[in-house]
Amino acid sequence: MTELLPNYAAGRWQTGHGTGAVLKDPVLGQDLVRVDSTGLDVPEAFRFAREQGGAALRALTYRERAGLLSGVVKVLQAHRDSYYEIATANSGTVKNDSAVDIDGGIFTLGQYAKWGDALGDVRALRDGDAARLGKEPVFLSQHLQVPTHGVALFINAFNFPGWGLWEKAAPALLSGVPVIVKPATSTAWLTQRMVRDVVEAGVLPAGALSVIAGSSAGLMDQLGPFDVVSFTGSADTAGIIRAHAAVAQRSARANIEADSLNSALLLPDAAPGSDAFNLLVREVVREMTVKSGQKCTAIRRILVPQDVYGAAAEAIGAKLAGVTVGNPRNDGVRMGSLVSTAQLHAVREGLAQLSAHVDILHDGRQVPLVDADPAVAACIGPVLLGARDADAASVVHDVEVFGPVATLVPYRDMGHALALAQRGQGSLVTSLYGADEAALGHAAVHLAASHGRVHVVTPDVAQAHTGHGNVMPMSLHGGPGRAGGGAELGGLRALDFYHQRSAVQASPGVLAALGL
């Protein structure tokens, strides 16, 4: 029987009492490891994290906690090669795609370590200047932010087992809030290994970081009024979390990242063959194929002027035809597999649903896999769809296929294009391509109301822009409406979720004694 990975909770490693769920290699079909949390004393785990981990973290200053993050970075860098091996085996990703998850997480931790160091040797943060409460400046109101006295529960998605942990844990730990992470079962191995390495290195106080790699049953029940929960996953599960008594009645804070039908918009000034046109084509292909399209920020809808539709279909299809799909261990493979056969089935079902209403412009499913058995491997080639009637094909704006699939959508004019982008009902990101700065600026402000991030690409930033789907710690990650209404990262803004804002009303002398 395969190895059973232990959970780390209540300051010790604990294995579940059940047979557990088997994690598989999505390309070779081999059993890898098992995860299980049956019999785990969940109340004890939360109590230990809240009382021991939280108290130890809050006793430190922001600068000292930033030092802890730097220590975590060093541990992860020392074990980096083993993480790539796990990612290849458990997620089926090629090396470049694994880097997005592994190195992206380490980079984010390093950024928060730098920002935290600059906050200095304080244990609370000043929020603005003191305000007079009367005519004379003898009684003032000073807003401040203090770490919440609770636990941060992370319920994470399968596509980023590394980055998904650290992009949330970095601001939480810097804030002084202990973390309990529940990774998605299918790819939990990488999360568990990273936590194991950090715990064994002893760089964090006991209870500051825990991992429960089995079932999520009972975790939400443990949340109290000062705890927070951050969820990444489906809108259906997000609805369950919002309706849970911990959130609905006990007012635990919830941050949700759910479905997102992100768009890329080519402005009318970008003719076929122009620099902006070529930049759109390149970015679409990259977003369709990085991590096999399994990114919450991936481009799902490509909005182009109707007279450019044919040229865009041809250019994107030509580049997709050069994408090799198969075993990520083969150096000739550019795109690996989906994370599981279950995810492959979901993508096929989604494609069938969309295909009834659109044209198939490029079908990578017909291309033989490289060094992989199609009867076993959870691989699928990229598929470009086309919706000639953008208004009638409502399914394109409603159904997200979480894989290497995108739909080309023609628009009549800019008003029509902006309306189509907003039919996503709230998205994490949209990207704009063109050279007309005035038109781009107008579109960016218009779309900002329905998107967490607007990524504008002009020819002069061709080599500098960070990518439509690349989430940088300096910028907001989240979005309104269908995208979940959440907000992560954005520099030190991320600390807001883990702090309580309070107003202290007192004399200038008392306010000076706050130590801010």
Q: How far apart are CA 391 and CA 385, in angstroms?
A: 15
Q: 416: which 2 tokens?
A: 């029509």
Strands 140-147, 499-506: pairing kind? antiparallel
DSSP calls for 442-460: HHHHHHHTTEEEEEEE-GG
The yes-or-no verdict on residue 1 having pLDDT over 90 is no
Q: 230 and 336, same structural domain? A: no
Q: How many CB atoms lie within 10 A of CB 309?
A: 20
Q: 369 and 508, same structural domain? A: no
320 and 285 in contact (C-beta within 8 Å)?
yes
Q: 392 and 338, same structural domain? A: yes
CATH classification at residue 397: 3.40.309.10
- The predicted pLDDT at position 180 comes to 98
Q: 76 and 205, same structural domain? A: yes
**How confident is the model over 193-201, as a mean pLDDT?**
98
User: Rg (Cα) of the chain, in Å, rounded?
Assistant: 24
Q: 415 and 321, same structural domain? A: yes
Distances (CA, A) of 514 to 22, 64, 392: 52, 19, 61
Say whether 257 is catalytic: yes
The yes-or-no verdict on residue 121 having pLDDT over 90 is yes
Q: 172 and 266, same structural domain? A: no
Residue 455 placed within a domain: yes
Say whether 296 is catalytic: yes
Q: The domain containing residue 212 runs over which residues?
A: 41-258+488-512
The yes-or-no verdict on residue 313 having pLDDT over 90 is yes
**How confident is the model over 269-279, as a mean pLDDT?**
97
180 and 153 in contact (C-beta within 8 Å)?
yes
Q: 358 and 267, same structural domain? A: yes
Residue 35 placed within a domain: no
Q: How far apart are CA 151 and CA 234, in angstroms?
A: 23
3-state helix, strand, coil in the chain (%, to 5): 40, 20, 40
Query: Is the C-alpha dihedral spanning 313, 406, 166, 98 positive or negative?
Result: negative
Q: 384 and 501, same structural domain? A: no
**How confident is the model over 16-41, as a mean pLDDT?**
96
Q: How far apart are CA 286 and CA 295, in angstroms?
A: 11
**How confident is the model over 266-274, as a mean pLDDT?**
97
The yes-or-no verdict on residue 122 having pLDDT over 80 is yes
Mean pLDDT for the chain overall: 97
167, 257, 287, 400: which is the annotated catalytic residue?
257
Residue 170 placed within a domain: yes
**How confident is the model over 238-263, as a mean pLDDT?**
96
Residue 11 placed within a domain: no
Residue 31 placed within a domain: no
| Number of independent structural domains in the chain | 2
483 and 177 in contact (C-beta within 8 Å)?
no
Residue 345 placed within a domain: yes
The yes-or-no verdict on residue 508 having pLDDT over 80 is yes
pLDDT digits (tens, 9 = 90+) for 395-436: 999 999 999 999 999 999 999 999 999 999 999 999 999 999
Please, where are the H alpha helices in 302-372? 309-320, 341-355
Residue 237 placed within a domain: yes
Backbone angles phi, psi at 433, to 5 degrees: -130, 125
Residue 29 placed within a domain: no
Q: 178 and 299, same structural domain? A: no
**How confident is the model over 117-134, as a mean pLDDT?**
96
Q: How far apart are CA 168 and CA 182, in angstroms?
A: 12
Ranges of beta strands (E only) in 259-365 are 262-266, 299-305, 359-363
Q: How many CB atoms lie within 10 A of CB 509?
A: 8
Q: Strand, coil or helix: what is 238?
A: helix
- The predicted pLDDT at position 299 comes to 98
**How confident is the model over 452-479, as a mean pLDDT?**
97
CATH classification at residue 136: 3.40.605.10
**How confident is the model over 456-485, as a mean pLDDT?**
97
Q: 275 and 190, same structural domain? A: no
pLDDT digits (tens, 9 = 90+) for 53-82: 999 999 999 999 999 999 999 999 999 999
Q: 240 and 267, same structural domain? A: no
Q: 186 and 116, same structural domain? A: yes
296, 379, 400, 488: which is the annotated catalytic residue?
296
The yes-or-no verdict on residue 206 having pLDDT over 80 is yes
